């Protein structure tokens, strides 16, 4: 297995003067910001994210890391009702100790709360969720404590909600004070406030009332290196559960923090099966190859073949032409993916025929084809620019996509030269 590239920061800031003899090491793992994201797309090769991959990384972390362990989910679970049970089930298998809720989690608490409760997942936030708890559900506490191996860890979550910044600063400072008075040697604050507002918030909190670790939810697609700022260790969580942070503490007060992308390597087979089953249910609930696909009118490759036979034949061997087949082979030919993988679906939400020309076609990349077919000598089609390509080739879907290199591949096919597949295939799952 290829090892993950870790970003590392070392610090030797005492947690308690002299430490506590007899207490072993502690390691905290922080992941999250699922945002409905079950797995990496796979379209661009080495994509990051995915619950099954994170589970395998945590299994390795447990095996290689001595001492006590605490797992924190940085919240922002998602909004899709059909995915929440799958995500919660996976988080329970991850043995998550506490879910640090985001503003969106609290807004959706009426549907999220019962799902987390059904899987015995504890949650916390400084600002109460919107609306009362569901029947039988307790109120969400402002802080949670987890005890493991002689360590006591306090966890809180902060977001821009009904509390003004000054009130939130008081809540953070007061929460840290209470947790430390309750014997917590480490206090983790998960912030959904953004970098600037979080820094402003901590500046309002006296130094002796600040958390030990600040886990910042970000919009980044990549893992960022942890950093020490005014005595607080900052770790950064990439969006869509694309990163995993770990912080190791020793009894004498030293700490080591690492951050890694959740990318290539083994996947937890049990979670993988759960996610496969979810997509199977979604696929079964959608229509099969539609008999009305032919009614979705646009210039298809067959209309171009009489003049551009070599180009059409080269396209038929290109990855764009195989885009639907690629989804079918992975059992992911669902509506959420088909919009980028097939022109018929992109235009009308109708699945393509089961065979024949489909996928990313001539009309996907060229406009004004109708006029060109009527007057081929006087009316020329136009090609999509980089922005048009990036409507599907986002950083999230194609993190290693390079416009110039991929454009040359597409142009080569349009000029009648078959092209090799550029993107490396998704990592083998083990």
Q: 256 in helix, strand or coil?
A: strand
Quick check: is 1 in a domain? no
Q: Among 137-141, 156-160, 204-208, 381-385, whose mean pLDDT is lowest?
A: 137-141
Same structural domain for residues 269 and 298? no
Q: 143 in helix, strand or coil?
A: coil
Same structural domain for residues 133 and 77? yes
Quick check: is 350 in a domain? yes
Same structural domain for residues 242 and 326? no
218 φ/ψ angles, rounded to the nearest 5 degrees: -125, 170
Q: What's the full length of the chain, in residues?
A: 430
Same structural domain for residues 255 and 225? yes
Contact 146, 152 (CB under 8 A): yes
Same structural domain for residues 392 and 358? yes
Same structural domain for residues 178 and 40? yes
Residue in 414, 45, 21 with CA at minimum distance from that of residue 251: 21
Binned at pLDDT 50, 70 and 90, residue 161 comes out as confident
Total number of domains constituting the chain: 2
Cα four-point dihedral sign 348, 353, 359, 361: negative
How far is it, in rounded angstroms, from Cα 173 to Cα 165? 12
Of residues 286 and 266, more confidently modeled: 266
Same structural domain for residues 163 and 297? no
pLDDT at position 200 over 60: yes
Contact 92, 270 (CB under 8 A): no
Total-model pTM: 0.85
Same structural domain for residues 265 and 296? no
Mean pLDDT over all residues of the chain?
88
pLDDT at position 389 over 70: yes
Pairing of strands 123-124, 144-148: unpaired
How far is it, in rounded angstroms, from Cα 184 to Cα 191? 19
Same structural domain for residues 204 and 56? yes
248-260 pLDDT tens trace: 999 887 899 999 9
Structural domain containing residue 185: 6-273
- At 209 the pLDDT is 96
What percent of the chain lies above the pLDDT cut of 70?
A: 89
What percent of the chain lies above the pLDDT cut of 90?
A: 64
Domain final position from 226, 245, 273: 273
Cα four-point dihedral sign 362, 364, 366, 372: positive
- At 165 the pLDDT is 79
- At 375 the pLDDT is 92
Q: Which residues contact 130 (CB under 8 A, 6 or more apart)?
A: 106, 107, 109
CA trace torsion 113, 119, 124, 127 (10° rounding)? 0
Same structural domain for residues 128 and 185? yes
Q: Write the CA distances from 251 to 9, 26, 27, 349, integer angstroms.
A: 18, 8, 11, 59
Same structural domain for residues 97 and 69? yes
Give helix then strand counts, H and E, for the chain.
16, 15
pLDDT at position 227 over 90: yes
Q: Which two tokens stand for residue 314?
A: 């080269």
Contact 399, 221 (CB under 8 A): yes
Quick check: is 424 in a domain? no
Quick check: is 317 in a domain? yes
Binned at pLDDT 50, 70 and 90, residue 426 comes out as very low
Quick check: is 419 in a domain? no
Q: Which two tokens stand for residue 26?
A: 């502690």
Same structural domain for residues 293 and 254? no
Q: 73 in helix, strand or coil?
A: strand
Give the CATH number of the domain where residue 11 resides. 3.60.21.10
Domain final position from 243, 273, 303: 273
Residue in 294, 293, 284, 317 with CA at minimum distance from that of residue 413: 317
- At 13 the pLDDT is 45
How far is it, in rounded angstroms, from Cα 57 to Cα 123? 23
- At 428 the pLDDT is 37
32-79 pLDDT tens trace: 999 999 998 877 656 789 999 999 999 999 999 989 999 999 999 999
């Amino acid at each position: 297995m290829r090892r993950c590239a870790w970003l590392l920061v070392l610090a030797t800031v005492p947690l308690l003067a002299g430490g506590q003899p007899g207490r072993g090491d502690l390691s905290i793992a922080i992941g999250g910001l699922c945002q409905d994201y079950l797995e990496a797309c796979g379209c661009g090769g080495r994509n990051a994210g995915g619950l099954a991959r994170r589970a395998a990384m945590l299994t390795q972390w447990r095996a290689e890391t001595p001492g006590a362990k605490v797992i924190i989910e940085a919240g922002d679970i998602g909004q899709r009702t059909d995915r929440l049970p799958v995500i919660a089930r996976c988080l329970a298998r991850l043995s998550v100790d506490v879910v640090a809720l985001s503003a969106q989690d609290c807004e959706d608490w009426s549907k999220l709360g019962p799902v987390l409760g059904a899987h015995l997942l504890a949650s916390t936030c400084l600002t109460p969720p919107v609306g009362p708890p569901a029947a039988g559900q307790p109120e969400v506490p402002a802080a949670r404590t987890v005890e493991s191996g002689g360590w006591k860890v306090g966890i809180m979550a902060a977001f821009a909600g009904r509390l003004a910044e000054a009130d939130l600063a008081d809540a953070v400072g007061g929460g840290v004070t209470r947790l430390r008075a309750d014997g917590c040697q480490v206090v983790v604050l998960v912030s959904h406030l953004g970098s600037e507002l979080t820094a402003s918030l901590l500046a309002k909190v006296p130094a002796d009332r600040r958390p030990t670790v600040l886990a910042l939810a970000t919009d980044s697609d990549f893992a960022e290196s942890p950093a020490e700022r005014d005595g607080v260790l900052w770790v950064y969580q990439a969006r869509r559960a694309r990163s995993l942070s770990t912080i190791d503490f020793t009894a004498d007060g030293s700490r080591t923090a690492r951050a890694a992308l959740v990318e290539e390597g083994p996947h937890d087979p049990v979670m993988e099966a759960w996610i496969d089953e979810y997509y199977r249910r979604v696929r079964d609930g959608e229509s099969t190859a539609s008999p009305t696909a032919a009614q979705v009118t646009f210039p298809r490759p067959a209309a171009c073949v009489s003049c551009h036979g070599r180009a059409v034949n080269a396209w038929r061997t290109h990855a764009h032409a195989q885009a639907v087949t690629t989804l079918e082979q992975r059992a992911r030919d669902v509506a959420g993916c088909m919009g980028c993988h097939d022109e018929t679906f992109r235009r009308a939400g109708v699945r393509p025929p089961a065979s024949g020309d489909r996928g990313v076609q001539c009309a996907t990349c060229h406009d004004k084809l109708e006029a060109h077919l009527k007057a081929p000598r006087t009316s020329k089609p136009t090609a999509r620019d980089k922005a048009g390509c990036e409507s599907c080739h986002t950083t999230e879907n194609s993190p290693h996509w390079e416009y110039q290199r991929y454009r040359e591949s597409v142009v080569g096919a349009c000029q009648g030269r078959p092209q090799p597949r550029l993107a490396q295939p998704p990592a083998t799952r083990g």
